[in-house]
Structure 1
Amino acid sequence: MKPTMHAKPSGSKRQPNFDTTQPSTKLRNRLAAEMANVAIYLESGLTSNTMRAYASDLRHFKQWGGRIPATPRTVARYLVECAKTLKVSTIARHMAAIAREHNRLGLQPPTQSALVRATMRGIRRIHGCSQKQAKPITSAIIRRLVTPIANFSELRNSRDRALLLLGFSGGFRRSELANLTINDLSFEKRGLVVHLRTSKTDQNGFGRDIAILNGDEPVCPVKALKEWIKHLQCNYYENDNGSVIFRKIDRFDRIAGGLSGAGINWILRTRMQAKRMDVAGFSAHSLRAGLVSSAAMASVPIWEIQRQTGHRSESMVHRYIRNVGLFDSNVSSRIF
C-alpha cells in the first residue's frame, strides 16, 4: 500500500536556500577590511618620496591612455612611447609603479610577461643604461662655499654653512639632511654623533649612527651646526627639539618650514653662482659624491667609506670613485 502524500500547507515557511556561490555581506566586509590592512603594509614598505614618484608615474600612464588592469601589449606600447623622451632608469620606475598598483589590487602584474620584459631589454640595449652622475665637490670648493656672502643675511649664511659642512663631512643624502631633527644629534667631546632613523637603504628604520669629528676653523661642521641650532633655539624654536633642523628662510629673514631635497639643491647652486662658480653637473648629491671621491684620493679603505655613507656594497662606492681622475691614485704609481 502506497503511503499517502500530504500536500504542503500553504502557510508553512519555505526552507532557506543556502547559495554558497556568493559570499555573505559579512564575509565581503571582512575580506575588504583584510585587504585594507594589506594596503597599509604595502604603503609602509615604501618611503614617502617613492610613494609620490609612483603616484606621478601612474598618472602619466593613465594620461597616456593606459588603465588598470593593463594588458602586456598595452604596457609594451607605453614603454616604447616613454623611450622617446625618458631615461631608462625613469622608465624602469614607471614599470615598477604599474606593477605595484596591480599587486595592490591583487592582480597579476603585466610587467612580468615575456613581451614586456623583452621590450625593456631592447630599450636598455638601444638607449643604454648609464646614469648621469653628479660632479663631486672637493674640500677646496667647500671652503669657498662656506665663507660668508656679503648680500646674504647672517642667518642665511649660518644655515648654509652648517648644511654644506655637515652634508659633506657625513656623506649624507639630501633626504637625510632634510629629515634631521635636534633629537637625532648627540654632541660629544670628540665631535658629534648623528642618528639616522631611516634612509634610502634602510626603509625598515633600523637606524645607524654616523660620527662627525671636530674640525679646524673655518670648516668645522660641529661648530657650524651648534651656531645654527643656537639661532633656532634662541630666536625661534626654543624647546622644539622634535622639529627639523634645516629650514627655509623667507625674504624677510624669517625661519619657516623644513627644507625639501630640492631646496637643499637650490641652496648649493645659489651659493655657487654667488661665488661665480660653474654649476653645471653639480647638485646636492655632489656633497656625498665629494666625500667618497676625496676619501678615495686619500687612500681611505672602502669599508671605512661604507661605514660613513651607508653604502651596502663596494660596487656602489666604486661608482663614486670613478670621478677621481684617471691619473690620480693610479695603480702603476705604486709599481715603478
Structure 2
Amino acid sequence: MSKSAHHTPNSVLPSHSTIVPSGTSGNRNTSEQSFFEETQLPLSILDDYKSAASETEYEISENTRRVYTSSFSIFNRYCLEHGLSPLPADPRSVISFIGHQKESIQQSSGAQLSRQTLTSRLAAIRYHHIKAGFHSPTEHPLVIRVMRGLSRNKYRKVADYDQQPIMYDELEMLIDVINQHPQPLTRARDKAIIQLGFQGGFRRSELADIQVNHVSFLRNKLKVRLPYSKSNQQGQREWKDLPQTETLAAFDAVKEWIEISKIKQGHLFRSISRDGSQIRPYSVSDATNRKINLTSMQTKEPRLNKNSGFLRGDDIYQMIKKYCLRAGLSPEFYGAHSLRSGCVTQLHENDKDHLYIMARTGHTDPRSLRHYLKPKD
C-alpha cells in the first residue's frame, strides 16, 4: 500500500505543539509547554479524530455559547474602532474596554452595567482566547485588580436587583390569568409549565429540556429525571420527587397536558399554533449531522436547522413575563427565575430544612440558599 494511504499531510490535522503561543510573555519553561508531535499521522485515525473533535460542541451549554458570542462581538467592535487586536488581545486593551463598559448607561434603567455583566463579558474574552490557543489577557494581574476594585465600588449606580420570588399567592394569580385563556391547549401547557417550574424549582433551561420519558407518575408523587443540569453537567443521576399533596402541586397539571396534547415522546413542552388550536410540527436534528473544523477543534452548526416545534428557555421566560404583567405583577421584578427562588422561599416558609430544599432544587452548597431565603413573616 502506498505511503499516501497510510499518512496524512501535516496540514490535515492541527499542530498544537505548545499551550502558550509564541510571543506570549512570561518566564515559563518552554519545555513544560511542549507536547510530543508525530511527524505524520495515519489516515486510518481520521474518523476517530473527527468523532472526538465533535464532542467539543458540548463543552459549554448552547445558552452560554450564545452569550459568549454576543459579548465577544461587543469587545471585537470596540477593538476595531480603536485599531486594537481583539484576538489575541493586549491586557491593556481589556482594561480600556472595562473602562468604557463600566460607564455605559442602559437605556431601559438609566443605570450603569452591573459587575455581573462585565464579568460575563470578560468570561467571553477568556473563552475565545483559550479556544483559539492563546493565553487569556483577562488573567493579567492588573485586569484582576481592576475587577476587584470595581466589585467594591459602592458609588456606581447599577440596576442590580434580584427577581422577587413567586410564592403561593402570586402563583394563584398567574393560574387565574392562564385559566382565562380561550384555548384549552394553551391553558393546559402554560399551567403545567408554571406549576412544574415552581414546585420543582427548575431553571427555565431545565424546563425546556424535559422530555416525556423523564416524567413518571407514581402513586402520590410526580418524579422528574434530569439527565443534565447547571450543577450536574457530567450526566450523573439526578431527579426530583414532587409530592402530589403539596399546595398547587404540578402532578395533575402535567398529566392533563400530556393527555390533551397526546405527546408520546420527545420534548414535553411544545410550540402551539398562533390560534392555539394545534401543536406545531415537531422535529429534532441529528446531533451527528455537523461539520467538523479540524484546525480549531470546533464543530459547526448543521446547514439546515431541523430543531423546531418545542419551547426554548427564552420562550418560557417571555411567557412568564407576559402572565406576570397580566396578573398585575411588575415584570421588572418577576421572571422565570422567580419560580425557582419562590420554590426555595416557600419550602423555607413551610419549615423544610436545608437538605430537603437542596434535594428539591439541586443546589450542592448550602451557602447558595442564603441568597434565596427570605425572613419568615
2:182 pairs with 1:158: no
Counterpart of 1:142 in structure 2 is 171
2:200 to 161, 170, 187: 170
Mapped contact 1:195–1:208 kept (Cα < 8 A): yes
Mapped contact 1:47–1:203 kept (Cα < 8 A): no
CA distance in 1, matches of 2:270, 2:103: 38
Counterpart of 1:287 in structure 2 is 339
CA distance in 2, matches of 1:311, 1:199: 10
Unaligned residue ranges in structure 1 (runs of 5+): 1-23, 329-336
2:271 to 239, 243, 248: 248
Counterpart of 2:243 in structure 1 is 213
CA distance in 2, matches of 1:42, 1:35: 12
CA distance in 1, matches of 2:237, 2:117: 28
CA distance in 2, matches of 1:114, 1:276: 48
Cα offset for 1:54?
0.9
Corresponding residue SS for 1:77: helix
Query: What is the correspondence of 1:240-279 to structure 2 with a 5 Å cutoff?
Result: 241=265, 243-253=266-276, 254-256=278-280, 257-279=309-331
2:136 pairs with 1:109: yes
Counterpart of 2:114 in structure 1 is 87
CA distance in 2, matches of 1:212, 1:174: 17
Mapped contact 1:89–1:129 kept (Cα < 8 A): no
Mapped contact 1:192–1:213 kept (Cα < 8 A): yes
Unaligned residue ranges in structure 2 (runs of 5+): 1-6, 16-45, 80-84, 105-112, 281-308
Task: Classify 1:37/1:90 alpha carbon distance in 2 versus 1 (closer, same or farther; 3 Å).
Answer: farther
CA distance in 2, matches of 1:277, 1:50: 29
2:61 pairs with 1:47: yes
Corresponding residue SS for 1:54: helix
What amino acid sits opposite 1:45 in the alignment? E
CA distance in 2, matches of 1:28, 1:276: 62
* Worse-matched range after superposition: 94-103 or 35-44: 35-44
1:316 to 368, 371, 374: 368
Deviation digits for residues 255-284 of structure 1 (CA, Å, limit 9, x no counterpart) = 232122222122223223333344330001
Q: Which has the higher helix share?
A: 1
Report how many residues are paired.
Answer: 295
CA distance in 2, matches of 1:47, 1:109: 21
What amino acid sits opposite 1:30 in the alignment? L
Mapped contact 2:185–2:261 kept (Cα < 8 A): no
Task: Classify 1:190/1:61 alpha carbon distance in 2 versus 1 (closer, same or farther; 3 Å).
Answer: same
Deviation digits for residues 168-225 of structure 1 (CA, Å, limit 9, x no counterpart) = 11111111001111011111112211001111111222240101111378x3411111
2:228 pairs with 1:198: yes
RMSD: 2.6
Mapped contact 1:171–1:288 kept (Cα < 8 A): yes
Structure whose alpha-carbon radius of gyration is higher: 1
Residue identity over aligned pairs, in percent, reads: 29
Counterpart of 2:300 in structure 1 is none
CA distance in 2, matches of 1:154, 1:200: 33
CA distance in 1, matches of 2:128, 2:13: 22
Counterpart of 2:162 in structure 1 is 133
Corresponding residue SS for 1:58: helix
2:58 pairs with 1:29: no
Corresponding residue SS for 2:242: strand
What amino acid sits opposite 2:58 in the alignment? S
Task: Classify 1:188/1:314 alpha carbon distance in 2 versus 1 (closer, same or farther; 3 Å).
Answer: same
TM-score by length of 1: 0.80
Corresponding residue SS for 1:133: coil
